[in-house]
Amino acid sequence: MTKPHTFWKTWGGPLGLCLILFMLSYTIGVVQPIMPPLVREFNSSVGYVQSALVLMSLVTASFIPTTENLSRRLGRRPLLGMALLLYALGLIVIIVSPDIGIFTLGLAGLTGLGAAVLVSTPVAMMDGLYQDEVARKYGLVALAIAGMLGALTGSILGGIMAFDFSWRWAFAFELALIPVIWYLVRRVVAPTPVPTQAIDWVGGLLSVAGFGFTLVGLSLAAELGWWQPRDDPQTLAFFLAPFGISIAPVLIASGLICTGLLIFWERQRSRQGHPPLLRLGVFNRRIYTIGLTIGTLHTMAMVGLQFNLFQFIPAVVGLNPVQTAIAVIPFTLTQLVVLLVLAKRRPQFPPRYLLQLGLLITSLGIVLLVMAVQPPVTNLGLLPSLVVMGLGTGLFSTYITSLTFADTSEAERAEARGVYRPFQNLGASLGRGILGTVLVGTVSVKIVDGVLAELGESIDPSVRREAVQALLVAIQTLRRSERQELFAELPDRIQPVLNSILQTAATDAMQLTLGIILALCLLCLGLSCLLPKTVRKLEAPIE
C-alpha cells in the first residue's frame, strides 16, 4: 500500500514541473491548427491571431527578469500559485472570448504574464530537486522533451478538436491540467525568499510597449499594408487606418518611440543611482545576447519550415492535418533521438564546431527538401530531407544552450533559461507569421496570375490585388473541401489545367520560402563564429 505514495513522492514533483512546460508549449502549438475556425468565428484575420502570439511571447520575455526578482523576494511557491491562477484566468477569458480583442487580452495579457513566472520556475525547482549533476541534467532534458511534446500534442489535438468539436475545447483541455500541476508541485522544496533589488515597473512597461508595438506592426503589415491601407480608408475603422494610412507604420513608429524612452529612462535611473525596475540581467551578457539571437533566428527558420510543410503537404499530397503531422514527425523524432543520445556525452570536439556542423547538416537537408518538393511529391520522397534536417537541428539544439550560457553566472541560470524559452516562442510566432505569409501570399499571386494567363485576359491592377487578397484569406481560413468548391466556380476552360496551376504555384512558393530559410541558417552559421569554442559546463538543451 506504500508503493503509490512512494512513487508520487519521488516522481510527482518532477512530473508536475514537466507538465508546466508541456502546458506552455501546448498553448503556443495549439493556436496554429485552430486558426481557420477561430478567424471565421471572430470575422478577423490570421495576422491578428499571429500578433496575439507575438505579444504573448514578448510579455513573457519582458517580465521574466522582474518576476525572477519577485520570486526571490516572495518565494517561488507562492508566486507559482498566483501564476497558475493568472494563467487559468487567461484560459477562461480565451474560452469565453466573443471577439479577437478579448481573445488577445486572455492570450497575450493574462497567460503571457502568468507564463513569465511559469517558464523559469520549473528550471529553478528542478535544479533544487537533485544534488547529483547527471540527475539534474536528465531532469532538465526531461523539461525540454516535455516542451517538445506539448507543442506536438497541441498541433495534432488542436486540429482534431477545432474541426470535430470547437476550438474552445482545445483550451479547456489544458485548463484541466492546472489543478493537477498544483497538486504535484505544491510540496516541491523551493529556495527561501531573500531580499533583492527594487523592480522597475516603468522600464518594464516601456520595454513591452517598445518591442510589442514594433513587432506587432511588422506582423500586421502584410495584412493591413505597409503604408497604404489594403482597403478603402473611408470604410475602415479609425484604429485600422488613422489619418488615412495603415496602422502598421503607426505601431512601428510608436514602438521605436517607446524604445527610445526606455533607453532614456534607464540612463536617468542609472545616473541617479537607482537600480532599473526591469533588470537587464542576462541581456548585459554579450555572448548570451548573441546566442539568444542565433537560437531565435534558428527557431524562426525551423518552425516556419514546419508550418509551411503543414500548408504545402495537404494541398499537394492531399493529406488531412493528422496525416500531415505523421508525415512531418520524422523531423521531430530524429531531433529528439539526437538530443537523448548526446545528453550525457562530453563532446570530443569543441561545442561550437559541433553546433556549426549541425547548421551545415540542416542546410544540406533544406537543399534536399528543395529537390523533394518537385512534383510528384510523396511522403517517402520527403523523408530523407526531414531526417537530415532533424539530425542537424538536434545537433544544433544540443550545444546552443551551453554556448549561449557560457558567460552567465550560476545565479543567473534560471533567469537565462526563462528568457531563452519565450524568445524561442517569439521566433516561432515570427516564423509562422512571416514565412507563412510569404508562402500563402506567393501562392495566391501565382494562382491568380496563372488563371489570368490561361484565360488570356488582363484586368485592372486594383481588381487583381483584391482577387489575390481574397484568395489569401480563403487559403488560410477555409478547409480543403471548401477551397475545392471555390475553385470549382472558375470557368470550365480553366478546370483541365487548374491542378497544374495549383501544383506549380505551391511548388514555386515553397521553394522561395526554403531559399529564405536556407539564408537564415547561413546567417546563424556566420553569427556562430562570435560564440566561444568551448564551455566550462555543458547545459541541458532547452528545445
Give the model confidence (pLDDT) of 205-218 as tens digits. Answer: 777 677 667 766 76
What pLDDT score was predicted for residue 1? 44
Least confident of 10-24, 108-122, 367-381, 421-435: 421-435
Residue 418 cell numbers, joined: 526563462
- Mean pLDDT of the 277-291 span: 69
Q: Could you tell me how far CA 95 lies from the centroid of its own chain?
A: 21
Yes or no: say if 392 and 363 are a contact pair by the CB < 8 Å rule: yes
Q: Which three cell numbers stand for residue 45?
A: 484575420
Q: What is the mean pLDDT of residues 119-137?
A: 71
User: What pLDDT score was predicted for residue 133?
Assistant: 64
* In the predicted structure, residue 465 carries a pLDDT above the cut 60: yes
Cell of 136: 539534474
CA 244 remoteness from chain centre: 33
Answer yes or no: is pLDDT of 413 > 60.
yes
* Residue 277: predicted pLDDT: 46
Q: Average pLDDT for residues 464-493, to the nearest whole number?
A: 76
* Res. 266: pLDDT tops 60: yes
pLDDT for 100 equals 81
pLDDT attached to residue 303: 86
Measure the CA angle with vertex 310, ends 29 and 478; round to 5°: 95
| pLDDT surpassing 60 at residue 264 | yes
Cβ neighbors of 502 (< 8 A, separation 6 or more) are: 315, 447, 487
Q: What is the pLDDT of residue 195?
A: 56
Confidence of residue 384 (pLDDT cuts 50, 70, 90): very high
pLDDT digits (tens, 9 = 90+) for 363-377: 999 999 999 988 888
Which of the listed ranges 271-285, 314-328, 408-422, 512-526 does the model predict with the highest average pLDDT? Answer: 512-526
Percent of the chain with pLDDT over 70: 77
- Weakest mean pLDDT among 135-144, 347-356, 363-372: 135-144
pTM for this entry: 0.73
* pLDDT at position 239 over 80: no
Q: Which of 220, 332, 295 is closest to 520 using CA atoms?
A: 295
pLDDT recorded at residue 233:
46
Half-sphere exposure of residue 339, counting CA atoms within 13 Å on the CB side?
Answer: 29
What is the structure's pLDDT at 226? 66
Question: What integer best gives the mean pLDDT of the chain?
Answer: 78
CA nearest 101: which of 91, 92, 93, 112? 93
Confidence check: pLDDT of 467 > 50: yes
**What's residue 234's pLDDT?**
45
Diameter of the chain measured on Cα atoms: 80
Q: Is residue 519 over pLDDT 90?
A: yes
